Copies of this chain bind each other. A is one copy, B any other.
Amino acid sequence: MTAAKHQVTRGTGRRTSGRAGIRDVAAAAGVSITTVSDALNGKGRLPDATRRHVRTVADRLGYRPSAAARTLRTGKSGLIGLTVTTYGEEPFTFTEFAYFAEMARAATSAALARGYALVILPAASQHREFDVWSNVALDGTVVIDPSDHDPVVTELVRQGIPVVSDGRPGGSLPVTAWVDNDHEAAVTGLLDHLAAGGARRIGLLTGTSTDTYTRLSTTAYLNWCERARQDPVYEAYPAHDPCASAVAADRLLARPDRPDAVYGLFDPNGTDLLAAARRYGLRVPDDLLVVCCSESGVYATTEPPITTLSLKPGRIGTAVIHLLIDAIEGAAGGGGKRQTAGSVPQAQGHQVMPTELIVRASSQRSPRASARTTVPAPARSPRPTVAVPRTPPAADQ
């Protein structure tokens, strides 16, 4: 009998209580631990008979491999961090809400399809919340619009963990890769659209914070104004304050040099501009053209429907995840170069995604029409307006 041999079994032979381990399966199946592991993972060279037998026994015992042990052994956890920027106590701001939700949804889906799961973690907030970061084993991280010198990103990269950012990183943040829209092209194309619609003085509703999105969009606006020989007319407000939008919209329309068209950088600006216009007796689009950047579907049914710029967060989320997983699996399987702690790799790649201008009644004086204009990424062309008949709401993109 092999029984005598099995006195070797580590320390006590006692039941580990509760769940069955790989040892129990091995014992019950009358094979070794190695064989069980190989059979369940499809490795090694085993006859199908043995494989099936082991699988059957494992099922009967309700065996579930310990994720922790596997992670410890293999070094891969199958987990991807998703940082949410926090304002004050609460994660993410209201203006990012719809964008973030959609982006997270797509990212979750893409990650799951490739066998990874997302874990939500707070961005740097110099509190002691950092320890939650080191309490979870991450294969990689996606960070949304990181601040210029995000300590978390720096630390992760130092540990050799791939980091992909949504939004071109400012400063010299050493992310592995990044994905972003071509904000300048988007804003330029959108302003051209408004000008073509008869706007003589286009105003801007922008934010006071200095994130990449706000910065790029604003400078694109200023540049356009300079080219168009128009004085800039804009109001900036703290975008993270859900109430400030309405006030800012009011301020903009109260100015002596009141614009006859407005672009709002943030989600709530559309409805707030509409409400403000009503207060001032301005008709949209007759007296005021309105466009805002939003992912919300409500703008299709407002009175009038409002033209929106969609950043296509779904596409961004998917792209970010694929870039990240490629980096993760490439780094592991690539073999050759071992990632030493000191060597900080510069951005290995990036991807610029197109935006989409969803044209509705609010941005054109002529009666009703509806079209979609896609600003392609690399093409710097002012406005290759491709009118497409109203598409049904696509599943993802």
- The verdict on A327 contacting chain B, using a C-beta distance below 8 Å, is no
- The verdict on A79 contacting chain B, using a C-beta distance below 8 Å, is yes
- Given the known inter-chain contacts A18-B341, A67-B137, A68-B77, please indicate yes or no for A119 contacting B118, CB distance below 8 A: yes
Q: Chain B residues near A393 (CB, 8 Å)?
A: 242-243
Among residues of B, the one whose C-beta sits closest to the C-beta of A340 is B18
* Interface pair A268/B242, CB less than 8 Å apart: no
- Given the known inter-chain contacts A72-B68, A298-B298, please indicate yes or no for A17 contacting B101, CB distance below 8 A: no
Q: Chain B residues near A19 (CB, 8 Å)?
A: 159-160, 341
Q: Chain B residues near A12 (CB, 8 Å)?
A: none
Chain A, 52-98, CB within 8 A of any chain B CB: 62, 64-72, 77-79, 84, 88-92, 94, 97
Q: Chain B residues near A79 (CB, 8 Å)?
A: 119, 136
Shortest A188–chain B CB gap in Å is 28
Q: Chain B residues near A69 (CB, 8 Å)?
A: 72
- The verdict on A395 contacting chain B, using a C-beta distance below 8 Å, is yes
Shortest A334–chain B CB gap in Å is 15
* Interface pair A68/B68, CB less than 8 Å apart: yes
In whole angstroms, how far apart are the Cα atoms of A158 and B101 in the complex?
32
Specify which of B17, B97, B120 is in contact with A118 (CB 8 Å cutoff): B120
In whole angstroms, how far apart are the Cα atoms of A393 and B298 in the complex?
21
- The verdict on A23 contacting chain B, using a C-beta distance below 8 Å, is no
Among residues of B, the one whose C-beta sits closest to the C-beta of A104 is B120
Among residues of B, the one whose C-beta sits closest to the C-beta of A73 is B68
From A29-37, A109-117, A350-358, give the one contacting chain B: A109-117
Among residues of B, the one whose C-beta sits closest to the C-beta of A102 is B97
- Given the known inter-chain contacts A97-B101, A108-B91, please indicate yes or no for A78 contacting B243, CB distance below 8 A: no
Q: Chain B residues near A120 (CB, 8 Å)?
A: 104, 108, 117-120
Q: Chain B residues near A392 (CB, 8 Å)?
A: 243
* Interface pair A303/B301, CB less than 8 Å apart: no
In whole angstroms, how far apart are the Cα atoms of A339 and B131 in the complex?
29
* Interface pair A339/B18, CB less than 8 Å apart: yes
Q: Chain B residues near A246 (CB, 8 Å)?
A: 301
- The verdict on A172 contacting chain B, using a C-beta distance below 8 Å, is no
Among residues of B, the one whose C-beta sits closest to the C-beta of A300 is B271
- The verdict on A105 contacting chain B, using a C-beta distance below 8 Å, is yes
Specify which of B84, B97, B243 is in contact with A108 (CB 8 Å cutoff): B84
Q: Chain B residues near A396 (CB, 8 Å)?
A: 90
* Interface pair B121/A117, CB less than 8 Å apart: yes
- The verdict on A129 contacting chain B, using a C-beta distance below 8 Å, is yes
Chain A, 270-310, CB within 8 A of any chain B CB: 271-272, 274-275, 278, 296-298, 301-303
In whole angstroms, how far apart are the Cα atoms of A340 and B15 in the complex?
12
In whole angstroms, how far apart are the Cα atoms of A279 and B304 in the complex?
13
- The verdict on A3 contacting chain B, using a C-beta distance below 8 Å, is no
- The verdict on A388 contacting chain B, using a C-beta distance below 8 Å, is no
- The verdict on A146 contacting chain B, using a C-beta distance below 8 Å, is no
Shortest A273–chain B CB gap in Å is 10
In whole angstroms, how far apart are the Cα atoms of A19 and B160 in the complex?
9
* Interface pair B90/A109, CB less than 8 Å apart: yes
* Interface pair B132/A78, CB less than 8 Å apart: yes
- Given the known inter-chain contacts A159-B64, A296-B298, A298-B298, please indicate yes or no for A136 contacting B78, CB distance below 8 A: yes
Q: Give 15 new A-B contacts, CB below 8 A, not counting A78-B136, A274-B303.
A: A19-B341, A65-B134, A67-B134, A68-B72, A70-B135, A77-B136, A84-B108, A90-B395, A91-B108, A92-B105, A100-B101, A104-B120, A108-B120, A119-B120, A271-B302
Q: What are 5 A-B contacts with C-beta separation under 8 Å?
A: A19-B341, A91-B112, A94-B297, A108-B120, A112-B129
A-B pairs, top 8 by smallest CB distance, nearest first, are A68-B71, A68-B72, A271-B301, A67-B137, A119-B119, A101-B101, A68-B137, A275-B301
